[in-house]
């Protein structure tokens, strides 16, 4: 049984009277409850978002100080019996007469054709011509044929919401919130599709979208798909050389872009990068009310392009036809060009429906871009589920975005962990009402436990769906649910309809190793446009004892007790320190707890061929904090000794202002390793 004092709470900047009252109430609850029930009551009945976060953290850690981790990681959110019954998962389990979630996942992975057909019917995916079979494995699980014999256009599934329902709620930086209905969005998509036809673009043509995530870019995206063409996704942060590379790989015939984009009152050129990249015919939207640049003779303004005809019958396509060409980050060479088919969006929508519990009229926000898979994912997961996309046009790091979340009454908020860290450092959520949020989701990089607890506390304790997958999956392979307890920075399940194994270097199953997926699944890629798909994902992959085919993915996952998992980044970011394997993410997660540290990046270097690996740590301090390097290095050694292994020694520590990141915000450890090695 726990017992706290007012003095303990006062140490965390809680006023004396408030500390005394809270201590009395907490001790009363703790006297009669086991740890999970105790925390559930404290988090729901006593703690408020405006209490100092250190108070939240202290009470959470105190509740679970004697927690038996054989039961799993300590939960920060536990589903309520009444509310869980109205979740999408619980409703479907009841209809299928499946008694618990673990059995539901087992059924979905063992009966994949039945699972995907169930979901296709549940989402009411429209077909021009019905499929003969959901899953044809005549060519083997490496190259399945989904929805064999069908004809459809997946964009049609995005307009099943009520005509008057809100499809998009959006706010340009410094302006008011606006709304677009499903009918208005569909009519604009039709005008885009007719505009493409007027320019003689036809089915299969690749049309790039090099734009920020706006209401118009969503209409453009779906209009391209409606016309039977394929969207070429290019992040608006890319420089001309990277833009040129992607345009060429996709054999792009046209491109939509803006003259400029606004970021924190700065006007950043966009169209001129297309010109410098020698891009094809461009359709250019103005950032504001008027165009601020002169166009090439072959290019056209948005208003010149847009057709007046707002009626368009979408072009029927085969299930395997390309709708979107997306790219990996390409930090070590040419990016992989990954085609999404007509079926990939079904994976997005199913993950949104089941794992993120998106319901009709739910408002879904996820700061992202069409250049990355979460942009298209947001479109399909929201609209196919009859929800509302929430878009803020400015930077998501400041107060105006967090207030937009409040004003838009967001129900599901997606984040990347570094964004949460920025919110925590600047306290830009303080005083806002995020009570409309029913769930968070986090993806893109390994998360920090304290940051995720802070995020949960900011909305009165709501679950975080940790979500990890990839562009070549169309969604996640490992995730969480709203029907299982949520522990910060952990996953609770393989994605429904999928499964995986964790293997060591010998190909044996292990509790901490590299992930290999068990195909097939809707969403998994069958080809790459510029690389050998078999070589990338299947060549030299271990075979299970039962002969089952495995697919390489490359993440390192640790299996925890209670059926939970923790991500440790990419398997190729694993290092060998004194004969002991450890991931960069494990070291970083440990060191990020040190007071004054904002984030770290751990790399391994050698000063001679085949020499031992040495640990180098890059450190970014909290804003306004001056770090003493010698003291910090000793603190870091102590943390590694206490929490990981006493044999781990830091060879070098470097304090930097920021870490190098890809355009999708992933830390570029390879760049740090290369820069450090050059200076040896």
The Cα–Cα gap between 403 and 421 comes to 17
Q: What is the pLDDT of residues 460-515, one digit of tens each?
A: 999 999 999 999 999 999 999 999 999 999 999 999 999 999 999 889 999 999 99
Q: Could you tell me which of 193, 163, 197, 198 has the C-alpha nearest to residue 181? A: 163
Q: Determine contact, residues 521/347, Cβ cutoff 8 Å.
A: yes
Per-residue pLDDT band for 1 (boundaries 50, 70, 90) equals: low
Is pLDDT of 264 > 90? no
Q: Are strands 322-327 and 337-341 parallel, antiparallel or unpaired?
A: antiparallel
Residues 6 or more apart whose Cβ sits within 8 Å of residue 542? 503, 507, 516, 550
pLDDT digit string, tens, across residues 393-436: 999 999 999 999 999 999 999 999 989 999 999 999 999 999 99
Least-confidence region, from 32-46, 104-118, 244-258, 323-337: 323-337
Structure tokens, 187: 């009519």
- Please spell the DSSP secondary structure of 71-107, one letter per residue: G-SPPSB---HHHHTTSHHHHHHHHHT--SHHHHHHH
Neighbours of 445 (CB within 10 A): 19
Which two structure tokens, joined as six digits, stand for 263? 């970021």
What pLDDT does 410 receive? 98
Q: Give tens-digit pLDDT for 110-144.
A: 999 999 999 999 999 999 999 999 999 999 999 99
Please state, rounded to an integer, the average pLDDT across all residues of the chain: 93
| This prediction's pTM | 0.91
624/480: higher pLDDT:
480
Separation between Cα atoms, residue 569 and residue 551, nearest integer Å: 18
Residue 265 burial (10 A CB sphere; 0-12, 13-18, 19+): exposed
CA atoms of 602 and 584, how far apart (whole Å): 5
Dihedral pair phi/psi, residue 283, rounded to 5°: -105, 120
Of the pLDDT bands very low, low, confident and very high (cuts 50, 70, 90), residue 572 is confident
Mean pLDDT of 578-602: 86
- Mean predicted confidence (pLDDT) in 353-378: 97
- Listed in sequence order, the residues at least 6 apart from 229 whose beta carbon sits closer than 8 Å to its beta carbon are 196, 201, 202, 203, 204, 205, 206, 207
Mention every residue, 6+ apart, whose C-beta is less than 8 A from residue 559: 502, 511, 512, 565
Q: Average pLDDT, stretch 165-169?
A: 98
For the four alpha carbons of 186, 382, 110 and 525, in that order, the dihedral sign comes to: positive
Q: State whether residue 354 is helix, strand or coil.
A: helix
pLDDT tops 60 at residue 332: no
Q: Is the pLDDT of residue 331 over 70?
A: no
Peptide bond into 453 cis (omega under 30): no
Q: Which residue has the tokens 């389990």?
A: 93
What is the per-residue pLDDT across 210-257, written as a single tens digit (0 to 9) for each? 999 999 999 999 999 999 999 999 999 888 998 999 999 999 999 999
Residues 6 or more apart from 59 whose CB is under 8 A from it? 4, 26, 39, 42, 47
Q: What is the mean pLDDT of residues 4-14?
A: 92
pLDDT for 678? 75
Q: What is the pLDDT of residue 608?
A: 63
Q: What is the per-residue pLDDT for 333?
A: 59
Rg of the Cα atoms in the chain: 25
Q: What is the pLDDT of residues 59-101, one digit of tens each?
A: 999 999 999 999 999 999 999 877 767 999 999 999 999 999 9
Range of lowest pLDDT (198-212, 268-282, 597-611, 637-651): 597-611
Average pLDDT over residues 625-648: 88
523-541 mean pLDDT: 96
Please count the other Cβ atoms lying within 10 Å of the Cβ belonging to residue 94.
11
List all residues 6 or more positions away from 185 whose beta carbon is below 8 Å from its beta carbon: 159, 167, 168, 215, 218, 219, 222
On the 0-12 / 13-18 / 19+ scale of CB atoms within 10 A, 244 is middle
Residue 284 CA from chain centroid, whole number:
29
pLDDT at 544: 87
560: left (phi over 0), alpha (psi -120 to 50) or beta: beta
């Amino acid at each position: 049984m726990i017992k706290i004092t007012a003095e303990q709470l006062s140490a965390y900047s809680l006023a004396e009277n408030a500390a005394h009252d809270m201590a009395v109430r907490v001790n009363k609850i703790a006297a009669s409850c086991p740890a999970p029930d105790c925390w559930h009551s404290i988090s729901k009945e006593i703690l408020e978002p405006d209490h100092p976060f250190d108070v939240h953290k202290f009470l959470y850690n105190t509740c679970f100080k004697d927690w038996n981790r054989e039961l799993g990681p300590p939960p920060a959110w536990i589903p309520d019996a009444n509310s869980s019954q109205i979740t999408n998962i619980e409703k479907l389990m009841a209809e299928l007469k499946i008694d618990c979630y673990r059995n539901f996942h087992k059924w979905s992975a063992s009966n994949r054709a039945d699972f995907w057909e169930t979901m296709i019917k549940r989402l009411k995916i429209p077909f021009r011509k019905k499929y003969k079979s959901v899953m044809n494995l005549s060519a083997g699980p490496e190259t399945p044929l989904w929805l064999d014999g069908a004809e459809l256009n997946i964009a049609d599934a995005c307009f099943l919401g009520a005509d008057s329902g809100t499809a998009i709620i959006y706010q340009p930086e410094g302006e008011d919130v606006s709304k677009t209905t499903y009918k208005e969005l569909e009519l604009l998509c039709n005008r885009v599709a007719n505009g493409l036809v007027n320019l003689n673009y036809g089915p299969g043509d690749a049309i790039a979208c090099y734009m920020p995530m706006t209401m118009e870019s969503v209409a453009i995206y779906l209009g391209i798909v409606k016309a039977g063409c394929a969207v070429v996704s290019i992040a608006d942060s890319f420089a001309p050389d990277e833009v040129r590379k992607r345009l060429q790989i996709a054999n792009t015939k046209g491109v939509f872009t803006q003259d400029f984009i606004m970021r924190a009152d700065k006007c950043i050129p966009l169209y001129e990068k297309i010109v410098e990249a020698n891009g094809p015919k461009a359709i250019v939207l103005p950032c504001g009310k008027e165009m601020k640049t002169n166009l090439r003779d072959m290019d056209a303004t948005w208003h010149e392009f847009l057709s007046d005809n707002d009626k368009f019958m979408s072009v029927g396509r085969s299930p395997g036809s390309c709708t979107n060409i997306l790219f990996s980050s390409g930090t070590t060479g040419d990016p992989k060009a990954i085609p999404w088919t007509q079926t990939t969006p079904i994976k997005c929508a199913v993950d949104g429906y089941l794992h993120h519990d998106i319901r009709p009229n739910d408002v879904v926000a996820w700061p992202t871009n069409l250049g990355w898979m979460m942009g298209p994912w947001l479109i399909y997961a929201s609209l196919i589920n009859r929800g509302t996309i929430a878009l803020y046009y400015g930077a998501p790091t400041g107060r105006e975005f967090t207030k937009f979340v409040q004003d838009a009454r967001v129900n599901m908020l997606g984040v990347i962990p570094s964004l949460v860290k920025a919110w925590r450092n600047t306290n830009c959520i303080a005083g806002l009402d995020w009570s409309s949020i029913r769930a968070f989701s986090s993806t893109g990089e390994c998360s920090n436990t304290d940051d995720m607890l802070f995020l949960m506390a900011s909305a009165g304790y709501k679950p975080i769906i940790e979500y990890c997958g990839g562009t070549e999956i169309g969604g996640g392979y490992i995730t969480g649910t709203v029907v299982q307890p949520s522990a910060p920075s952990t996953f609770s399940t393989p994605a429904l309809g999928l499964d995986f194994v964790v293997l060591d270097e010998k190909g044996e199953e292990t509790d901490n190793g590299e992930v290999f997926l068990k195909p097939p699944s809707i969403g998994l890629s069958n080809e790459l446009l510029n690389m050998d798909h078999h070589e990338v994902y299947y060549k030299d992959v271990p075979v299970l004892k039962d002969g089952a085919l495995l697919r390489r993915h490359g993440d390192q996952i640790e299996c925890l007790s209670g059926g939970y998992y923790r991500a440790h980044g990419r398997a190729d970011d694993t290092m060998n320190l004194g004969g002991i394997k450890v991931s960069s993410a494990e070291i970083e997660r440990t060191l990020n707890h040190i007071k004054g540290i904002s984030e770290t990046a751990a790399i391994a270097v050698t000063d001679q061929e085949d020499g031992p690996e040495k640990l180098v740590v890059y450190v970014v301090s909290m804003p306004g904090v001056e770090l003493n390097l010698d003291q910090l290095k000793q603190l870091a050694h102590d943390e590694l000794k206490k929490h990981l292994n006493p044999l781990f020694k830091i060879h070098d520590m470097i304090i930097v202002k920021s870490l190098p990141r890809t355009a999708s915000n992933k830390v570029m450890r390879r760049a740090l390793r290369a820069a450090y090695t050059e200076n040896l």
